[in-house]
Structure 1
Amino acid sequence: MKPTRRALLLGSAAAAAAAAAAGGASVYRRGTPAITPERRARIEASPHYQGGEFRPVVPHTPLRAGPDVWKKLLFPKPGYGQPLNPLPAVKTDLKSLPRGRDLLVWFGHSSFYLQLSGHRILIDPVFSRYASPVPFVCRAFRGTEIYSARDLPDEIDVLALTHDHWDHLDYELTREIEPRVRRVVTGLGCGGYYEAWGYPPSKISEEDWDTEVKIDPQLSVWVLPTRHFSGRLLERNQTQYVSFAFTTPERRVFASGDGGYDSRFSDFACRFGGFDLAIIENGQYNPGWHSVHMLPEESARAAEEVGAKEVVPCHNSKYCLSPSPWKEPLERFEAESRGRPYRLLTPRIGEVVEIGAGRSFPAWWKSAL
């Protein structure tokens, strides 16, 4: 996939140049994985690594956007690209949650704390103030920065990473919680970040698409395909982007990661028999790049096709990475979900979602400014 100017926010040559000017050595350490000979051999042996890069099953359409898009994106207007006031949030004491409860807590954007069958799981945890390599682009919305590493439980059974973009992989947080993490599960190549940042290889499971990582008899993490791209600085698509299925004897939870729409959701429904809960990407889209990020109508369709009983939309309400109004992803997803067979759940940041409890959540964004 040919990089576009949008990659300024997620790891392009322009971002790398700016990062170098702002203290390049430190940014380089945060942006480059350790690609050992063994890791390189596994990457190149993957059938999904073709022509020197990872490629999705369904090829991308050409990405495009005009200058007005970039103006809105780089200089988001308060009340439009970002909220005027702090967003409402609830700070749950994660350490006090009984491990036997199957639940989910959203940290904003695509970061989650998940409990399943007694296991504590982090998905794409990011607490950084900026979702970029430099501290002047993509600042977190006010009110969303209520959690820090010290709020996380002392033992994390699984840290699951979908891909290496700055809004999904947080260098400082990742390093700080290493002593608490028992296992990292991610796609090929991404384990190189964890190894470079001090994680022993014995903790890292990096796998190709359609691979089961059995944590123990009560939990499996399936590394699955998505239709996205990767890279934090200059190199593109040298690490694999993935989605996840978390399965226990009682539950099945799907996490879509980022990616454009294709037929994979129906395939996953057939393979896993549907899901009790699906975390679905819904935000930072644009018609000019919708082959790498679904539009809300596609996200709702994907949620139905994957066979979800309950759906939590994400990839919104923390960082401005697209020119759309900040409320629009939730507004459009809510409208498109009417009449569909799943229950739409829209918790505030930090609010507990009990899986299968049937609880409804108010449309909190409608009263936010």
Structure 2
Amino acid sequence: MKPNVKQVARLAGVGTSTVSRVLNNHPNISHDAREKVMKAIEALGYTPNLDARSLRYGQTGAVSILLPVTGIPFYDTLLSGIYSELEKVDLDLAFFPVVGENRLRRYREATSIPYRADGLLIASLNPERMYQGRPPFSKPIVLVDTHHRDYHSVSFDNLSAGQMAAQHALECRLPIVFVDIQETPGEFESPVFGDRRRGIFSVLSRHGIVPRQTFYTTATLEGGRKIGQQLLQTPLDGPHFILAQCDDVAIGILRHLTDAGQQVGEDFLIMGFDDNQDAQQAGLTTIHQPVREMGEKAAGLLIQALAQELHQLQHQQLAPSLQVRQTTRT
């Protein structure tokens, strides 16, 4: 059997996104990581079959994905799901982080590198805001982890996820501390956190509940640690329930508070969203998001679109589920 990207990643001890960056000569790769990937490619004899792809799907045998950031568990898992489907039909994936206004301006040009591919995936971003209209790309487009009426999409029901999280928080009968994600309004704003926020507050307002405190931070472990510092300096009058907008933030808070001597179940309860691998290892209660499945389904839609098998817009939405673990058990 022909070696694939996942096998290269496994042998090199890196994520599939790192392999993709090496294959696409991305500048932001450490020398050590690049060397590991190249040795794995050589050892396995991995080569993409460009001719077979071109005959079936178009001129390049590759698709592009635009996404906000890389190197975090959510996108590593999403990309893994996308890869798993694309490799079945021998398509390559090139990815392009949309970081900063300069790069965004380049991506608005029809001659930009991402649009040389046979198809395009856009992850988490609102294409209408991002492009101030429509993308300069006439080939198939599929949105993943976001949705828009004019494009095929596979997304997660973040509104229901927010409602589910708020209901669990209410059942724990503690004052709620809400940790929101601070986003820059405009092109880079994702509908994900807004949908979760609306779901949370629709349930809280129905019960006449207002969070005791609300904090804002970035969607990172470090952002969570900073909130942990603020919580230690904020008098909250007894145990409280911390509802964070994503797992990375929740884990950052959890680590900081426990390192400071506070105890889960006595001093605080905490939950997040996404159910990434770190959340599972930390015993974090969270809302499970089938990220890998979302990537697989989005890639599947794009493959169908490339084969001209889709005759109307497809919008698929995946349902959330609550994963109760140690951090909300009293």
Task: Provide the TM-score with structure 1 as the length reference.
Answer: 0.29
**Greater relative contact order (Cα 8 A, min sep 6): structure 1 or 2?**
1
Structure having the larger proportion of residues in helix: 2
Query: Computing the radius of gyration over CA atoms, which structure comes out larger, 1 or 2?
Result: 2
